[in-house]
Structure 1
Amino acid sequence: MGAFPERLLVANRGEIARRVIATARRLGIESVAVHHPIDAALPFVLEADLAVPLEGDVPVRAYLDGAQIIRIAREVGATAIHPGYGFLAENEQFARDVVAAGLTWVGPSPGTIAAMGDKVEARRVVAEAGVPVSGGADDALGSVEEALLEASRIGYPVMVKAAGGGGGIGMAVAHDADALRTAFDGTRSMAERSFGSDRVFVEKFVSAARHVEVQVLGLANGTVIALGERDCSAQRRHQKLVEESPAPMLDPRVRGRMLLSAVQAAEVVGYLNAGTVEFLLDTVSGEFVFLEMNTRIQVEHPVTELTYGIDLVEQQLSIAHTGTTTADFAPSPRGHAIEVRVCAEDPKRFYPRPGVIDEWVEPCGPGIRVDSAYAAGVEVTPFFDSLVAKVCAYGDTREQALARVVAALDEFVVTGLVTNLPFLRELVRSDEFASGRYDTNVVANVKAGR
């Protein structure tokens, strides 16, 4: 068996499908794109060696039809499936079905996906390994009375979260008991609708916090490699908007403890392949707690690739096929990278704004990388996430990277489609972001003109 699969099916769409296809092409791997007919004109479909349409009237459901995707993989002779992020990437049953079909699953084991996919179970597991968590790490809360008791124990304000999902969906802050009663019922209802499980938990809410995550690679021999951290604090609606690596103004001692905790969290579940361990850092106390582990490649993986000089998708494929990294894998951190998510949304209220792209001119130049999903003449439909491109800038220093991303956003031309580019340009120029001392309130502060 060689170091890579011969033919790879990408079970995703948009920019991440295009990203995986690009690495496959560089490695001489034949790529297969599956797509709903509504996506037939998108770049990822046109760039794959083979494109197969998915059946199904509802676009999103077509990409969630694991049985159909596995059937296509077998029919076209694909030997491996890369799930990207979103859709089926963290679906335990799909991973099991891929393996059962005799195909290589480019991701962690189904058991690991299950353990880390349930936020309550994940907290319990990593807490046993010595990783700090917020509040109790016991079972999910069965009633509002249990939630009130836990809140009294850890102290208000608290955050109510769904145990079975992420992406900020259903998260709510409660500053007192009355607010907690309302938040508990709302989050539970949203969790049931979105994730098929009404299990929720509460944790301490930190008003001045930073969202920092660690990229890890787990090998078959049990080794876990930590590839630095990314600051993901610039968010709207608890969803990331700007990421950078390394995290600015981070105490080296805190960084060291965070990297160690990430390794411990991955080791305790026997983690294999690429994953991310996310933490919440209290900017006042300097203490951090485990948030969750994402058992897939992240949207923001390019900033780690730029600062470490590696291709994470290549390493994913190598680990999935051989259990270890490529022979030439020699990561060494250098410089600074910033990624900004360009979305088809109202730049003031951040509501999705689908439409047809008339003109699309991506920025270029030293240190600039653009991972995009679209091109001129195609339509951004209302059926999927609003992300249309990621503008990344690398520099020897944070100051150089920031200057480059400011210029790149100015150079990005998109017409016919409403995007958040005007706000992103304002955000990266703000004193608060430029200082590197921002927290999760930075987007709200810039919007408010502070």
Structure 2
Amino acid sequence: MAHEPGAPLRVALLGCGVVGSAVARMLVEQADDLAARAGARLEIVGIAVRRPQRPRPDVPVDPALFTADAEELVTRADVVIEVIGGIDPARALILRAMEHGASVVSANKALLAEDGPTLYDTAARYGVDLYYEAAVAGAIPILRPIQESLAGDHVRKVMGIVNGTTNFVLDAMDVSGAGFAETVAQAQALGYAEADPTADIEGFDAAAKAAILASLAFHTRVSAADVHREGITEVTAADIRAARENDCVVKLLAICERVTADGTDAVSVRVHPAMVPRSHPLASVREAFNAVFVESAAAGELMFYGRGAGGDPTASAVLGDVVAVARHRVAGGRGPGESAYADLPVVDMGQAVTRYHISLDVADRPGVLAQVAAAFADHGVSIETVRQQAVAGEGERAKLIVVTHRASDAALSATVSALGSLDAVDDVASVMRVEGA
């Protein structure tokens, strides 16, 4: 759709919560600067909300712009900003907007991870843009650097902290020594966690973001269903102490790797808690901040760090996308579409390779270490270090700490099963992966 020189670009906003309010305010307050950068004024023609009559004093727009008729609103816009989240009605509204010639800027990681190909295909069919920088790490520019700045490079691995709630919880546990439930309650009191924090602490949020990152980094369609997911609900204060004793911290990581499986290139995508050495850049990411670590063949190691959530930080990423798609409307042309030419298979978790920290409760008698070592050897898992600690008040019991060399998850799982069947092993107290070492 050609843009008439001098005419404003009509902007429709879907949603006016924390992020939507910040987007609307910044569109008004920075109108002159945004017009200079985009090449045309950005005019809000409507804001779709459930309750249009509710007072919104923090949003400096004409109250008449609020509407409950989102379906009608998207048909009269040049750019549609979607910040309502979820799958439906967001998907139907985005598709309808594209069919009527509007470019779309979205922060909807769940929808992009579930049905990104449909959105890309529809955007291509109608010659419009689909941008979603804010969907993964708030204010942090990570998607466009992977998609555009590293387009001439070969990305090998993307590993990051992409959920601020879980990072706050794990960081607080490390600093204070408090338990999981206590720190989740603290995060809720401070506004870092929702009343129902399931999507965050069970890893669903991070898994959606990992799917988006892997799709862009490896030119392969990866959905949230392809991502191995573990949350942080099983992380205990004892795990945090064990990490500290090994000069590590525990982080919930999204890990996307290009791997070799059965002699062919493939992709491994997983989300789980892991011990990270304090010497690694990701270990220093505190509180609710996010960071993404990228390894590529030519550029080497890159790290992107900043605020991963919140109204203003996320709105910053949204408006960066709005300016980009507005420029295309003014000058003609489109931004990059989906790149899925590699079409690599996504391997299951059993083929993922990393190191492990295993804590065993064992009998303190001769021959136990030999039995444990044999269980590891029988399944092809090489031991790096072993440390035994006496259990206070229990003269015949001990704690055995084993750190392995790199091994497949399948081999480690078989080893743990074998350990659990040994008479000398009372309990496999914890198993945690070690990353970044």
TM-score, length-normalised on structure 1? 0.31
Report which of the two structures shows the higher radius of gyration computed on alpha carbons.
2
Greater RCO, 1 or 2 (C-alpha within 8 Å, sep 6+): 2
TM-score, length-normalised on structure 2? 0.32
